[in-house]
Structure 1
Amino acid sequence: MSSTDRRETRSCVSCGINISGTNAAAFKCPECGNQIYRCAKCRKQSNLYECDDCGFTGP
């Protein structure tokens, strides 16, 4: 899979929508460093998210 393909398949960890080309946040999990993506709507609403790798939960 090329880096372009990976970029197109990024999804919000909270709601699951495809976030490519949107105003999404990308950050590393505070516990394990796994890359996490969240859409602007979920960030604004402070929806919970869970890291797929370690299970860390945050607002």
Structure 2
Amino acid sequence: MSSKSEDRREHTCISCGINISGTDAAKFDCPECGTLIYRCSTCRKQSNLYECPDCGFTGP
């Protein structure tokens, strides 16, 4: 269970770096290592690449 302070923390899109707090962003686990990944709706729609900061996995 996440704490309220974690819910308020600012998150950035892993592809473009914008602040995604309060937007229609996706949150998911890295398919390789399980690290939490955040992506904005624009990068998702454009299928922009991302790279996991922990394991280096690259995805669309």
Q: TM-score, normalised by structure 2?
A: 0.88
Counterpart for residue 13 of structure 2: 12
Counterpart of 1:25 in structure 2: which amino acid? A
Identity, % of aligned positions: 73
Q: What SS is found at the alignment partner of 1:31?
A: coil
Counterpart for residue 57 of structure 1: 58
The size of the alignment, in residue pairs, is 56
Q: Work out the CA distance in 1 between the residues paired with 2:6 and 2:49.
A: 28
Closer, same or farther: CA 26–4 of 1 in aligned 2, 3 Å? closer
Alignment of 1:40-55 (within 5 A): 40-55=41-56
| Deviation at residue 45 of structure 1 after TM alignment | 0.2
Which portions of structure 1, spanning 4 or more consecutive aligned residues, are displaced by more than 4 angstroms? Answer: none
Q: Work out the CA distance in 2 between the residues paired with 1:4 and 1:28.
A: 16
Runs of 5+ unmatched residues, structure 2: none
Q: TM-score, normalised by structure 1?
A: 0.89
Counterpart for residue 31 of structure 1: 32
Q: RMSD across aligned C-alpha pairs, in angstroms?
A: 1.0
Runs of 5+ unmatched residues, structure 1: none
